[in-house]
């Protein structure tokens, strides 16, 4: 409502709508947080805010299943506000906040704090994940039911895999009736002691300890069998190897209730990037080989991998200005995910948007309000992007508090122009409004 | 050339020229007053993030024989634990005016990272498992003199025996020996080889005994006790049984063959025989040649740019 009592409309004009139903041209009018009208051409009413969408797709907002916001605990790297701004600029209307903060997401008070900070920033919906084990220490189950009652849907010890098979089995059994989803960071830690990069020809030449593919694949294999045993569904985070894709494909063909995600860096960069010893390319799981990239792309194309997730992992510059083995793993992702997906994936645009929007929305348990079809009455969480807009990644221009993008100087195409969160334009012309 | 980070920064020709320059440095070292003014006014800083008295002393001696000023920094704990980034450490010391940093670091790649934060020359004095280029050069010089092979190593067969996987010496020596034309065989249990040897100009054997009669150089690497903790070896005793140089094995080497070791030796493990009684042992020559080779490298990078006519 404006001061004189008239309703302010937001009109997205001149774009092509792209959702589960396919593509069609149309203008969208938004009032009171919901889509009020869709028409070939919606005329101006005084007081309307008009967003130019010519040359753009108008799609349901993107949902990122995997974001490290660093608050509480490492606010020098990112805050919930700066991470939310990066998310909005990347077209995300909802992001799942990973639990490896300090303190970790294993208590209702932390969950409420993270959600409150997200609401205060009001740039995207921040969905706190919960820990699988207390303190992510891998020894005692976190209070699933209490955290679920506080609104947590996705549980993970991300950063750590749950090593103990008995504990993981028990976690699945206990989680079953709660309707939550357990998400695994697949890494058998005994196989990755001191590991810095993918184990293969490159690490052998560089004299760096390798992170073998088998460390991911063994835990994935174990967990697929635990899903079979318990019947409880699981999600697999940031899969990085060809064999992992193959295992998920086979398990899905058997009808097992699993989902999986892959990151843009795992379908764009190889271990050869580490040849200059630059810690900006250090990430967990590590950058792998061309064959793995091809497999991840094929997995996304045939739906084996459900979602593109960023694993956005900000680190303060000084923490990356040390030797590789001392540097923390992780790279920025929120503001480059769409462009890299459009630039690098040989998939129809609608399927890329599916992997960025409604498929992860379902996994995150927010399909009632994100990733919705574009229809009258639906919540207005929308992303307007120009798929052909060419731009160059410049670290200093990113909204994240950190600068650790591995794509500095890379030419890409595909850019978010506007992002609408609950009917409010939080990004207009590629600039955050708050 | 500005830095010496790895052997593959050098062509075979570069290596030959450095070895010729080393001849001059050996001559200087033999003078009654082994000192020339070639690098007077240059400031050479040894920056050792990992303790190594012998390598630091060798570089220090080399710099002093060329009349450079030297400073020593030993950084015992990792930069991170002190809350200072490697960049801060480098920029702080570089601000004092430095022409070359001689860097030893427990992390592979650290010397290469450092090149981004200073205009000084960086000389890699050993980084993690990656490279130890002056060791490779002094080993080449030792073979060149020991077997009288000034024109290269064509036809020579060198076996490098031991913990290849964790060895910067192995990585740099394989490149240097192969660049000069030698045939290189790596000898180790599979657990002490790198995960992949793709692109390495080497052959692999797990059977030292069958190789011995064919070798011109037997190069032994140090095997560390901690490898048993990682389940890479059952015991040092078993390693010694399979790969240790005993008197019996030494007797099966051709009479001209050289026995080398980068030190420090694990007596009773890879070196069971008394090296002082092995006729082919050139282990102390390696140490002596180390000073001359490092003089050559310092002069190459800080002096006249490798122009031999300008050599002292």
Residues 6 or more apart whose Cβ sits within 8 Å of residue B15: B7, B137, B140, B176, B179, B180
Residues B169 and B91 in one domain: no
Q: Quick check: is B249 in a domain?
A: yes
Residue A210 has pLDDT above 80, yes or no: yes
Average pLDDT on A349-369 reads 98
Q: Using a CB–CB cutoff of 8 Å, tell me whether A291 touches chain B.
A: no
Question: Percent of chain A, pLDDT > 90?
Answer: 97
Q: What is the pLDDT of residue B225?
A: 76
Residue A94 has pLDDT above 80, yes or no: yes
Question: What does each C-alpha distance from A178 to A154, A174, A213, B13 come to in angstroms?
Answer: 11, 8, 33, 70
Residues B107 and B143 in one domain: no
Model pLDDT for residues A162-190, shown as the tens digit of each residue: 999 999 999 999 999 999 999 999 999 99
Average pLDDT on B167-175 reads 98
Q: Quick check: is B232 in a domain?
A: yes
For residue A97, what is the enclosing H or E element?
strand A92-97
Of A204, A212, A277, which has the smallest distance from its Cβ to B113's Cβ?
Answer: A277
* A interface test, pick of B112, B114, B195 with most A CB neighbours within 10 Å: B195
Model pLDDT for residues B277-298, shown as the tens digit of each residue: 999 999 999 999 999 999 999 9
Cβ separation A325–B107 shorter than 8 A: yes
Average pLDDT on A309-317 reads 97
Residue A6 has pLDDT above 60, yes or no: no
Residues B213 and B202 in one domain: yes
Q: Quick check: is B1 in a domain?
A: no
Question: How many domains would you assign to chain B?
Answer: 2
Residue B306 has pLDDT above 80, yes or no: no
Residues B184 and B266 in one domain: yes
Question: What does each C-alpha distance from B29 to A282, A320, B71 come to in angstroms?
Answer: 45, 43, 21
Q: Distance between CA B179 and CA A407 in Å, rounded?
A: 35
For chain B, give the mean pLDDT: 93
For chain A, give the mean pLDDT: 96
Confidence of residue B80 (pLDDT cuts 50, 70, 90): very low
Average pLDDT on A418-431 reads 98
Smallest Cα–Cα separation from A168: which of A106, A213, A234?
A234
Of B109, B171, B230, which has the smallest distance from its Cβ to A323's Cβ?
Answer: B109
Residues B118 and B156 in one domain: no
Q: What is the pLDDT of residue B163?
A: 96
Q: Which of B24, B42, B132, B166 is an active site residue? A: B132
Confidence of residue B308 (pLDDT cuts 50, 70, 90): low
Residue A3 has pLDDT above 50, yes or no: no
Of A319, A321, A323, which has the smallest distance from its Cβ to B105's Cβ?
Answer: A323
Residues B99 and B28 in one domain: yes
pTM above threshold 0.90? yes
Cβ separation B110–A321 shorter than 8 A: no
Residues 6 or more apart whose Cβ sits within 8 Å of residue A395: A403, A404, A405, A408
Q: Which residues of B touch A201 (CB under 8 A)?
A: 196, 198-199
Cβ separation A207–B107 shorter than 8 A: no
Smallest Cα–Cα separation from A17: which of A33, A49, A39, A46?
A39
CATH code at position B87: 3.40.50.1370
Q: Distance between CA A47 and CA A43 in Å, rounded?
A: 12
DSSP-assigned letters across all residues of A155-185: EE-TTS----HHHHHHHHHHHGGGT-EEEE-
Residues B189 and B266 in one domain: yes
Residues B38 and B49 in one domain: yes
Residues B87 and B26 in one domain: yes
Q: Quick check: is B199 in a domain?
A: yes
Question: What does each C-alpha distance from A297 to A261, A287, B60 come to in angstroms?
Answer: 11, 14, 54
Q: Using a CB–CB cutoff of 8 Å, tell me whether A271 touches chain B.
A: no
Average pLDDT on A91-105 reads 98
Q: Quick check: is B221 in a domain?
A: yes
Domain range for B62 is 7-132+287-302
Residue B146 has pLDDT above 60, yes or no: yes
Q: What is the pLDDT of residue A2?
A: 44
HSE-up of residue B230 (Cα within 13 Å, Cβ side): 16
Residues B43 and B176 in one domain: no
Q: Quick check: is B310 in a domain?
A: no
Residues B127 and B29 in one domain: yes
Q: Quick check: is B145 in a domain?
A: yes
Looking at the complex, report in whole angstroms how far the Cα of residue B107 sits from the nearest Cα belonging to chain A.
6
Q: Quick check: is B312 in a domain?
A: no
CB-based contact B188:B223 (threshold 8 Å): no
Model pLDDT for residues A47-76, shown as the tens digit of each residue: 889 999 999 999 999 999 999 999 999 999
Confidence of residue A44 (pLDDT cuts 50, 70, 90): confident
Confidence of residue A276 (pLDDT cuts 50, 70, 90): very high
Q: Which of B31, B40, B54, B206 is an active site residue? A: B54
Average pLDDT on B14-42 reads 96
Residues B128 and B149 in one domain: no
Residue A204 has pLDDT above 60, yes or no: yes
Q: Which residue has the higher pLDDT, B73 or A253?
A: A253
Cβ separation A322–B80 shorter than 8 A: yes
Tokens (6 digits) for A84: 């939310």
Q: Distance between CA A415 and CA B216 in Å, rounded?
A: 63
Cβ separation B195–A204 shorter than 8 A: yes
Confidence of residue B82 (pLDDT cuts 50, 70, 90): low
CB-based contact A349:A387 (threshold 8 Å): yes
């Amino acid at each position: 409502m404006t001061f004189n009592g008239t309703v302010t409309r937001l009109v997205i004009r001149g774009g092509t709508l792209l959702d589960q139903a396919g593509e069609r041209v149309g203008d969208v009018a938004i009032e009171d947080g919901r889509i009020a009208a869709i028409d070939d051409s919606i005329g101006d009413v005084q007081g309307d805010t008009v967003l130019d969408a010519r040359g753009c797709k108008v799609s349901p907002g993107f949902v990122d299943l995997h974001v490290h916001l660093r608050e509480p605990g490492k606010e020098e790297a990112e805050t919930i506000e700066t991470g939310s701004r990066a998310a909005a600029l990347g077209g995300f209307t909802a992001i799942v906040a990973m639990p490896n903060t300090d303190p970790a997401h294993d208590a209702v008070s932390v969950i409420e704090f993270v959600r409150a900070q997200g609401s205060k920033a009001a740039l995207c919906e921040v969905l706190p994940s919960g820990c699988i084990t207390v303190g992510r220490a891998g020894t005692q189950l976190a209070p699933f039911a209490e955290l679920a009652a506080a609104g947590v849907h996705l549980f993970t010890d991300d950063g750590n895999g749950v090593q103990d098979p008995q504990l993981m089995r028990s976690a699945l059994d206990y989680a079953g009736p709660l309707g939550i989803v357990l998400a695994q960071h697949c890494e058998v830690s005994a196989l990755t002691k001191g590991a810095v990069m993918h184990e293969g020809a490159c690490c052998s030449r560089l004299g760096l300890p390798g992170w073998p593919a088998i460390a991911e694949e063994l835990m994935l294999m174990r967990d697929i069998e635990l899903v079979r045993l318990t019947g409880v569904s699981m999600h697999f985070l940031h899969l990085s190897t060809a064999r992992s894709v193959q295992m998920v494909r086979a398990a899905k063909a058997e009808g097992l209730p699993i989902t999986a995600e892959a990151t843009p860096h795992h379908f764009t960069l190889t271990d050869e990037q580490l040849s200059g010893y630059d810690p900006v390319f250090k990430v967990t799981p590590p950058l792998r080989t061309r064959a793995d990239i091809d497999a991840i792309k094929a997995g996304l194309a045939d739906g084996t991998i459900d979602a593109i997730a960023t694993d956005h992992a900000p680190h303060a510059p000084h923490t990356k200005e040390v030797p590789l083995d001392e540097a923390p793993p992780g790279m920025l992702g929120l503001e480059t995910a769409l462009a890299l997906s459009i630039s690098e994936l040989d998939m129809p645009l609608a399927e890329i948007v599916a992997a960025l929007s409604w498929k992860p929305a379902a996994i995150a348990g927010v399909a009632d309000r994100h990733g919705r079809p574009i229809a009258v009455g639906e919540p207005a969480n929308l992303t307007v992007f120009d798929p052909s807009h060419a731009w160059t990644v410049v670290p200093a221009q990113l909204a994240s508090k950190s600068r650790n993008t591995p794509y500095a100087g890379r030419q890409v195409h595909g850019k978010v122009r506007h992002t609408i969160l609950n009917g409010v334009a939080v990004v207009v012309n590629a600039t955050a409004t708050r | 050339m500005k830095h010496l980070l790895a052997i593959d920064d050098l062509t075979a020709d570069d290596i030959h020229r450095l070895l010729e320059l080393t001849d001059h440095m050996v001559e200087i070292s033999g003078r009654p007053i082994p000192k020339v003014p070639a690098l007077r006014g240059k400031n050479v800083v040894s920056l050792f993030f990992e303790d190594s008295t012998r390598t630091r002393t060798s570089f220090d001696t080399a710099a002093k024989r060329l009349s450079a000023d030297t400073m020593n920094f030993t950084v015992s704990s990792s930069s991170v634990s002190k809350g200072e980034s490697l960049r801060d450490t480098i920029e702080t010391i570089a601000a004092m005016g430095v022409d070359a940093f001689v860097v030893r670091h427990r992390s592979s790649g650290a010397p290469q990272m450092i090149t981004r934060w200073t205009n000084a020359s960086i000389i890699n004095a050993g980084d993690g498992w990656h490279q130890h280029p002056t060791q490779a050069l002094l080993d080449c010089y030792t073979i060149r003199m020991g077997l009288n092979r000034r024109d290269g190593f064509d036809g020579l067969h060198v076996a490098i025996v031991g913990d290849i996987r964790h060895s910067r010496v192995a990585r740099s020596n394989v490149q240097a020996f192969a660049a000069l034309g030698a045939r290189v065989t790596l000898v180790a249990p599979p657990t002490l080889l790198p995960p992949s040897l793709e692109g390495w100009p080497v052959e692999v054997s797990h059977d030292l005994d069958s190789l011995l009669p064919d070798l011109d150089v037997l190069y032994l690497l140090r095997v560390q006790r901690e490898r048993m903790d990682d389940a890479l070896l059952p015991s040092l005793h078993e390693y010694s049984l399979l790969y240790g140089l005993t008197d019996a094995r030494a007797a099966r080497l051709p009479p001209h063959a050289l026995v080398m070791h980068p030190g420090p030796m694990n007596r009773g493990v890879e070196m069971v025989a008394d090296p002082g009684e092995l006729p082919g042992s050139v282990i102390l020559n390696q140490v002596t040649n180390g000073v001359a080779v490092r003089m050559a490298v310092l002069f190459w990078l800080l002096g006249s740019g490798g122009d031999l006519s300008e050599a002292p």
